Amino acid sequence: MDCIICNSKMNAKSDWAYQCSNCNFWRSTLEPGAGRGIEGLEELRRSNFKILSDKFEELTSLSGKSCLEVGCAEGWFLDEAKARGAECIGIEPSEVSKLSQAAGHDVKVGFFPDILDQGRQFDIIIFNDVFEHLPDPVDAIKQCENYLNEDGYLILNLPNSGGLFFKISATLAKFGASSIFNRLWQKGFPSPHLTYFNERNLDAFIAKYTKLQKCKNFPLPALHTQGLKERIKTSHQGLKGQILYLGIRMGLPIIQACPSDIIVSIFQKHSGK
Ligand SMILES: [Zn+2]
């Protein structure tokens, strides 16, 4: 397997995880699928969508912008963007689309970009914890460019392979303790991660396949004390879960000072003027 970013050789790190020997881009051979992710994340996600929207609005206001969210799930980002005056459309292939529709959002059930009318363009296209689930990221990123207006923005909110938890988990997995590593990839979940970028190789990926220009990037907190217990419970029950919870609570100040496991990168379509 060759790297889709720099064409270097991808080294097998497990039966299903491969890392580029040159740019550190990761790929998995896990079975793609659509479905709900991990429970216990509503507080964290909603609070991160506020931070994300504030940071985006340093570039331009959301008000009056046409905004497409690919993989809108429960519609929590749509709630935030709509409250700030954006005209939003969501795409969601899974059953969870019913929740965002019930919340009053315009949500199309299907896959990007097939479900959209051809020639349609948006001021903003955003992927929140979705891009890493796509089986063909190269085609997806080219389609993003096609579906953006001139001067439109692409927002990628992604897990970061340069993050603290990813690095620790990859090291532990090397020594045979792979449960956290598997969990970060959502191995065994309906929709596991198929790719894992860091800030640098994401920029290189975008530059290779599109003419989009980088505007800014910033980290988002990967942990929030609210909902943490529920989140841990989904993978670690009983005493093991309680110890893990206490460990993370106590280590939170240190964790928050390290590179985050969530990054947001914003790119803009070339105006061509
Ligand atoms: Zn590479």
| Per-domain boundaries in the chain | 23-163+191-224+261-268
Q: How far is the CA of 195 from the centre of ligand 1 (A)?
A: 12
The per-residue pLDDT for range 21-37, each reduced to its tens digit, is: 999 999 999 999 877 66
Which pLDDT score is estimated for 238?
A: 86
Q: How far is the CA of 138 from the centre of ligand 1 (A)?
A: 14
Q: How far is the CA of 62 from the centre of ligand 1 (A)?
A: 34
Q: How far is the CA of 87 from the centre of ligand 1 (A)?
A: 37
> Residue 81 in contact with residue 62, Cβ under 8 Å?
yes
Which pLDDT score is estimated for 43?
A: 86
Q: How far is the CA of 23 from the centre of ligand 1 (A)?
A: 4
Helices 199-209 and 137-146: angle between axes, nearest 10 degrees: 60
Q: How far is the CA of 181 from the centre of ligand 1 (A)?
A: 20
Residue 115 Cα distances to 108, 112, 146, 190, angstroms: 7, 6, 14, 21
CATH number for the region 23-163+191-224+261-268 comes to 3.40.50.150
Which pLDDT score is estimated for 225?
A: 67
Q: How far is the CA of 77 from the centre of ligand 1 (A)?
A: 31
Nearest to 203 by CA among 252, 266, 132: 266
The per-residue pLDDT for range 49-77, each reduced to its tens digit, is: 999 999 999 999 999 999 999 999 999 99
Q: How far is the CA of 199 from the centre of ligand 1 (A)?
A: 13
Which pLDDT score is estimated for 222?
A: 83
Which pLDDT score is estimated for 41?
A: 81
Q: How far is the CA of 263 from the centre of ligand 1 (A)?
A: 19
Q: How far is the CA of 93 from the centre of ligand 1 (A)?
A: 30
Pairing of strands 87-91, 107-108: parallel
In the chain, which stretches have pLDDT less than 70?
Answer: 36-39, 224-227, 271-273
Q: How far is the CA of 243 from the centre of ligand 1 (A)?
A: 37
Q: For the chain, how long is the longest CA-to-CA vector?
A: 61
Torsion of CA 90, 122, 193, 170, to 10 degrees: -130
The alpha carbon of residue 199 and the mean position of all alpha carbons in its chain are separated, in whole angstroms, by 12
Q: How far is the CA of 151 from the centre of ligand 1 (A)?
A: 29
Query: Going by C-beta distance under 8 Å and a sequence separation of 6 or more, which residues neighbour residue 15?
Result: none
Q: In this structure, which amino acid lies at residue 195?
A: T
Nearest to 217 by CA among 266, 256, 159: 266
Q: How far is the CA of 10 from the centre of ligand 1 (A)?
A: 7
Pairing of strands 87-91, 66-70: parallel
